[in-house]
Structure 1
Amino acid sequence: MATQHSRSAARLMNAPAVFVLLVWMLIPLCMTLYFSFTDYRPLRGVFDCCVGFENYGRFLGSSAFIDSVLTTLLMVGGILVVTVVGGVLLALLLDQPMWGQGIVRILVIAPFFVMPTVSALVWKNMFMNPVNGLFAYLWKFFGATPIDWLSEMPLFSIVWIVSWQWLPFATLILLTAVQSLSSEQLEAAEMDGASALSRFYHIILPHLGRAITVVILIQTIFLLSIFAEIFVTTNGAFGTRTLTYLVYQRVLESQNIGLGSAGGILAVILANIVAIFLMRIVGKNLDN
């Protein structure tokens, strides 16, 4: 049992790391909050430190804001569906005894370690290119006309690219949960005549409930800030401009630091609202 002296020593040793972390987070956040109340356009030599909530009103009143929020939610929802469903199926498959199981698991995990920019470039040029991509050659082989994925099906393409990278994360979490399931329950259900589908629905899926909620929570927090894949593939065109990309356009392309900072604060608020909502769902699931 930890004594008061040991707890005080632990706090003292953790203090430098906590201080650095707080400074690392708070300074950019405070600067963003300050700039959000200014009219700061450096290329035009404009700086007005007292515009109040004008930037927030302009950002919220823009038609692009609602569209970007809807695009973000659709994109995150689509990725979650693909990764959770695919993660459950892969976890069940990898839990089965097979030759070279360790190598197979490493290959499944590998996409998670690929940089988002590299992943997007590979999919854009090697797979989805309408002229020289692998999918184009497959379409031609079967006598069909190749599809320009990023212009004809842009939202689906980005969802697929990001899902490919996040699927290993979901698979790892769900595989751990599957392996913690008692085999005696499945054997008893099988002896009672329960089908494979019935065993999955009544035993395996409820057991995976906590792991699924954790996967949804963690992935949602990170996926709300999708940027690299959109920047590399579509540049926000064809209805793929998320809230994060809209902030980028306001800051760098329009050179309006104040307006972009207001959008950044709104994005942080939206992410926290979603995180709090999901935390409540996770908390209820973990308490059951």
Structure 2
Amino acid sequence: MQHTASSVEPVVVASGGLDPKSGSSVRWLVAPSVGVLMLWMAVPLAMTIWFSFSRYNLLNPDVKGFAGFDNYRFLATDPSFLPSIVHTLVLIIAVLAITVVGGVLISVLFDRKFYGQGVARLLVIAPFFVMPTVSALIWKNMILHPVYGVVASLMRSLGLTPIDWFADYPLAAIIMIVSWQWLPFAFLILFTAIQSLDQEQKEAARIDGAGPFAMFFFITLPHLKRAIAVVVMMETIFLLSIFAEIYTTTGGGPGNATTTLSYLIFSLGLQQFDVGLASAGGILAVVLANVVSFFLVRMLAKNLKGEYEK
């Protein structure tokens, strides 16, 4: 027994961080991966910052030099810049509203046992595994097409005039496509959370006479608050960079009706070949993403703190 205790003691000391040599060894072991990660992140960001302050057009490579804040001033006065910000915010808010509300309702539905539940769950999750370009083509040519689409056929069968969604309501069409893709993600997170709800608490509420609506608003929904915050944070970060759906269906049009910030950066860099302007837009997108992430992380941390205090 004495020999065992003496052999365990150095391990306890090392795990407690009391041995400075152990801490130094850990730092040396972690250093290569941290260095690679820093290079992976820092070098592209540093190059983007440099190009954003430079004159660099791929069609005229001879014109080079320091541009100062000219790229940022020109981008701010671009007629498509403010609409792209508005379209990005509208897209994010609308998709979040649809996916969160739809995810909560579908999770509550699947929390009850019914015949064919496994197959139905697989069908609900399936859109999340479809590539964005493929799903955009499906919606464009098979669902929302004004002549051959399923929606147009249903409208004609009801005596209504089919709608050319991508010409008359292009942003609404993009919102439908993106919501269809991200609804399974919200469902998976929320359904996992709702499965962890204490069944004894639900049984006690039923015994006290709580109806379905009372149980949903006073038991289920408060329990899902933290999961909803996770869904909002994760989806917001990814929705800031939505591109494939817009490029495949509308190309940012008609006009700039579906031009988001990410598509504007693509247009400046790969259609107008202005690397300086595109880099300036990229920096603004990074700043916007970090600001949004900061507030979302604070909201989630506050939510978690409230849960732990309870």
Q: Indicate which of 57, 73, 89 corresponds to 1:41.
A: 57
Name the stretch that deviates more: 183-192 or 171-180: 183-192
Q: Indicate which of 43, 58, 65 corresponds to 1:27.
A: 43
Runs of 5+ consecutive residues of structure 2 not aligned to the other structure: 1-11
Aligned to 1:216: 232
Aligned to 1:118: 134
Q: Indicate which of 160, 164, 168 corresponds to 1:148.
A: 164
Alignment partner of 1:277 is 2:298: no
Alignment partner of 1:205 is 2:221: yes
Aligned to 1:229: 245
Structure of larger gyration radius: 2
Q: How far apart in 2 are the matches of 1:175 and 1:47?
A: 56
SS at structure 1 position matched to 2:90: helix
Q: How far has the Cα of 1:10 moved from its partner?
A: 5.9
Q: How far has the Cα of 1:144 moved from its partner?
A: 1.3
Q: How far apart in 2 are the matches of 1:198 and 1:91?
A: 17
SS at structure 1 position matched to 2:63: strand
Aligned to 2:276: 258
Aligned to 2:7: none
Q: How far has the Cα of 1:7 moved from its partner?
A: 6.6
Name the TM-score, length of structure 1 as normaliser.
0.95
Q: How far has the Cα of 1:22 moved from its partner?
A: 2.5
Count of residues paired in the alignment? 288
Q: Could you say if the C-alpha distance between residues 175 and 27 of structure 1 is closer, same or farther in structure 2, counting changes exceeding 3 Å?
A: same
Name the stretch that deviates more: 22-31 or 79-88: 22-31
Q: How far apart in 2 are the matches of 1:168 and 1:268?
A: 27
Q: How far has the Cα of 1:166 moved from its partner?
A: 0.5
Runs of 5+ consecutive residues of structure 1 not aligned to the other structure: none
SS at structure 1 position matched to 2:147: coil
Q: How far apart in 1 are the matches of 2:185 and 2:281?
A: 30
AA aligned to 2:39 is V
Q: How far apart in 2 are the matches of 1:212 and 1:193?
A: 27
Q: How far apart in 1 are the matches of 2:260 and 2:142?
A: 25
Q: In the TM superposition, what are the counterparts of 1:20-169 in structure 2 within 5 Å?
A: 20-169=36-185
Q: In the TM superposition, what are the counterparts of 1:1-16 in structure 2 within 5 Å?
A: 2=15, 4=17, 12=28, 14-16=30-32
Aligned to 1:247: 265
Report if the CA contact (8 A) 1:251-1:259 is conserved: yes
Q: How far has the Cα of 1:70 moved from its partner?
A: 0.7
Q: How far apart in 2 are the matches of 1:251 and 1:229?
A: 18
Q: How far has the Cα of 1:13 moved from its partner?
A: 5.0
Q: How far has the Cα of 1:48 moved from its partner?
A: 2.2
Name the stretch that deviates more: 238-247 or 56-65: 56-65
Q: Deviations over 1:10-68 (max 9, x none)?
A: 65555444333332222221111111111111212343221111101111222321111
AA aligned to 1:279 is V
Report if the CA contact (8 A) 1:68-1:246 is conserved: yes
Q: How far apart in 2 are the matches of 1:44 and 1:259?
A: 14
SS at structure 1 position matched to 2:247: helix
Alignment partner of 1:185 is 2:201: yes
Q: How far apart in 1 are the matches of 2:192 and 2:30?
A: 30
Q: How far apart in 2 are the matches of 1:82 and 1:185?
A: 29
Q: How far apart in 2 are the matches of 1:210 and 1:244?
A: 29
Name the TM-score, length of structure 2 as normaliser.
0.88
Q: How far apart in 2 are the matches of 1:190 and 1:29?
A: 56
Report if the CA contact (8 A) 1:154-1:240 is conserved: yes
Q: Could you say if the C-alpha distance between residues 67 and 181 of structure 1 is closer, same or farther in structure 2, counting changes exceeding 3 Å?
A: same
